[in-house]
Amino acid sequence: MKDRDIPESALEQPPASYAGRTRFTQLEYDAVLANASIGIAFTRDRKFFLCNPKFAEMLGWKPEELIGQAGDVVYPSSESYEALGRIAVPVLTAGKQIDLDWEVKRKDGSTFLARIIAKAISSADPRRGTVWIVEDVTEQRRAGAELERLLAEQKLIVDNATIGIAFLRQRSIQHCNRRLEEIVGYAPGELDGRSTEIMHVSPEAFEEVGRIGYEAMSRGEAYTEERQLRRKDGTTIWCKVIGRAIDPARPQDGSIWIYDDISAERAQREGLERIVSERTTELREAQERAQHLADHDALTGLPNRRLLEDRLTQALALSQRNRKQTAVMFVDLDRFKSINDSLGHAVGDAVLKEVAQRLVRQLRVGDTVCRVGGDEFVVVLPESKRSTDAANVAAKIIETLSVPVQAADRELSVTPSIGIAVFPEDGRDAAMLIR
């Protein structure tokens, strides 16, 4: 309710002087009193001598019933009446106005809270009486008290929240809770009125949040992102940031922002991701090693029979499509068994490794050499252009393998025997060519 100051001029002419006024003025005066939405009463010698219908209705009386009644009739007790008098009399006598909330009593004995404004009709002569304006503010005060209670509860919740909360206007912090100050390392109240730029790791980061965040909020959406923020001491932390505009049409004019420190959680998550990545890499490498072992000879590292069949099948398909030949050579080492038996398996293994390396050096890119048995090797030469190509390769293999092998401080001689089959003349599938 707006304050109602009673002007001195409106009180200088008391109601007792009605007879001396014009009929028109009296009608106006009566109309004001009769239609006023607040209670108005006049007292003299602490008794009512005039009141409007609203005043009487508010207190459960008829206007004529109150005339002549002592003022204490509308108060819960004589003590209440006297207490008000001790407050009001010095003020009214000094020509000032009182304005306070006070409990008053209806005719039926019930009470309500009223706002009372009073002033002497004439400051020069207080005996001429007092005008009283009364309004039932029970519901207003109850609503106000309820609002204050809700605001206090909300403030208590915000102040004790485990997340940072801030109210921004034009990207400046109007208010924030203690938790946000703790998160970014500022003293109580130190963030109020400051731009949120001080919380960002760089001017570019500040601009990016302004662009992305306020675009989202202007669409009525919440801006949510995990972002690095800068503390007062210059260190950085990771926060989950959520911003929402109070009015999406004007997000810069007011927005609520929530900051949740997720540094520990993020570090833990990154650690788990690193462990998972390492485990995944280890698993993939283990799988690759297992696959390599399944497809290759453990001693020489050459493809084994399983991979030979796959490579040969692919080579035959390619040769058939391109109308070319594929040659398959079977290489067997003569006298290898006697070396193995007389000098031991370690020497024999060294000889086989050297033979494998020499075979690989004789081949082109795309050719395959496999170990299919103890001293047995198979060479696949895909897409041969001429029938003599395989014979030329065989001659080079015989030449290179005939050079003595150094093993166990000895020169050991091994000579190969080579059999050749050519697709499609000698067979049209891998099994036939190998056989």
Per-position pLDDT tens, the chain of length 435: 344 555 544 444 444 444 444 555 656 666 667 777 889 999 998 899 999 999 999 999 998 999 999 999 999 999 999 999 999 999 998 889 999 999 999 999 999 999 999 999 887 787 889 999 999 998 888 888 887 777 676 676 667 778 999 999 999 999 999 999 999 999 999 999 999 999 999 999 999 999 999 999 999 999 999 999 999 999 999 999 999 999 999 999 999 999 999 998 888 888 888 888 888 888 888 888 888 888 899 899 999 988 888 888 888 888 888 888 899 999 999 888 888 888 888 988 999 999 999 999 988 888 899 999 889 999 999 887 777 888 888 899 999 998 998 887 888 888 899 999 988 888 888 888 888
What local confidence, expressed as pLDDT, does residue 10 receive? 46
Angle at CA 116, nearest 5°, toward 110 and 120? 130
Query: What Å distances lie between residue 190 and 46, 174, 184, 231, 394, CA to CA?
Result: 56, 11, 11, 13, 88
Query: What Å distances lie between residue 257 and 134, 150, 162, 381, 400, CA to CA?
Result: 45, 21, 14, 71, 78
Cβ atoms of 88 and 118 within 8 Å: the answer is yes
Residues 6+ apart with CB under 8 A from 87: 98, 100
Long-range CB pairs of 303-310 (<8 Å, 24+ gap) are 303/368, 303/369, 303/370, 303/371, 304/370, 304/371, 304/372, 305/370, 305/372, 307/370, 308/368, 308/370, 308/372, 308/378, 308/380, 308/434, 309/430
Q: Which helix or strand (DSSP H or E) is residue 176 part of?
A: strand 172-176
Report residue 81 as tokens: 């009446």
Report residue 41 as tokens: 């009463």
- Determine the Cα–Cα distance for residues 249 and 243; give it in Å rounded to an integer: 15
Cβ count near 193 (within 10 Å): 10
